[in-house]
Amino acid sequence: MSEVEAVERVEASNGWGVLHLFYAVDRERAAAEPGAAKHVVDAIAAFTDDEHQVLTFTVLGHKADLGIMALGPDLARLQQLQHALTAAPLRATWSYVSLTEGSEYTTTEDDERARLAAEDGITDADEVEARLAVWRDRMAHYRENRVHPRLPVKQTICFYPMSKRRDGDDNWYSLPFADRKRLMGGHARVGRGYAGRVLQLITGSTGLDDWEWGVTLLADDPAALKEIVYEMRFDEVSARYAEFGPFVTGLVHEPAETLRRVGLTA
């Protein structure tokens, strides 16, 4: 029987489930169980298919030895993977649960039409429609990547949870929607400046875990992880309205290599 048994699917009406799992190696058990890495490798292999993806990484620092990021539409399958990993000599140090989601602040077609007129001076109906056709294709691709991402293999990963502040005059949720959308537009422009260098996956966890969002950053250059977070700290959305949880950074490898680097062999 496979490490991840078939169970009744549990799917969200919108978005895929995302699990960030962090473990320390139980050295005593590992020494007594040669070949223990096979439990993890088999569980990941059984979980992974066209819809369900896994990234494994060795963690820098002492918050964990290794991390596993798993995502896909079936939450029951995610839970079965989590359970299957208990067969390995691993001790859970932290976990985070979220769902992929689109952004409520995404630019609308009316917004883009107004921008074409105000910034580019384009009002001719045919030219506006041609520009909007390109914009629609780009936005469809953006929305699909937000909700149904395909994770590239980069060399480094950083994960952290965050929430919007609710403190007196700095209460994000007391702002009118138009103000929140304007502020998030500026925040997004900072992020777009790192296109090609940093892949950003923002997943929602309100009502699912202790914070409101999980942020996963993937990059080949670890300095880019530091730079994007630092630059965004000066944006008003972060400087005034954001609260951050713990940061975990790691080096991404194939599962067997990740396990080898933390002392587990197949």
| pLDDT tens string 24-45 | 999 999 988 888 899 899 999 9
Spatial distance between the Cα atoms of 190 and 198, rounded to a whole number of angstroms: 12
**Residues in the chain with pLDDT < 70?**
1-6
The pLDDT score that the predictor gives to residue 188 is 86
The domain segmentation of the chain, as residue ranges, is 17-101, 105-148
* Cα torsion angle, 28, 34, 38, 41, sign: positive
Confidence (pLDDT) at 23: 98
CA gyration radius for the chain? 21
Q: Among all chains, which residue has been given the structure tokens 């700095």?
A: 170
Q: Which amino acid is at 237?
A: V
pLDDT of residue 1: 36
CA torsion angle for 177, 179, 181, 183 (degrees, to 10)? -150
Rounded to whole angstroms, how far apart are CA atoms 87 and 77?
16
Say how far residue 195 (Cα) sits from the centre of its chain. Answer: 16
| pLDDT for 111 | 86
Query: Are 67 and 59 in contact, with CB atoms under 8 Å apart?
Result: yes
Question: For residue 218, what are its two tokens?
Answer: 């993937």
User: What are the helix (H) ranges across 5-74?
Assistant: 27-32, 37-47
What's the pLDDT at 70?
98
User: What are phi and psi for residue 184, nearest 5 degrees?
Assistant: -70, -30
- Answer yes or no: pTM beyond 0.85: yes
The residues annotated with a catalytic role in the active site are 160
* CA distances, 17 to each of 10, 97, 250, 264 (Å): 10, 8, 21, 28
Which pLDDT score, from 0 to 100, does residue 33 have?
A: 86
Does domain 17-101 sit in CATH 3.30.70.1030? yes
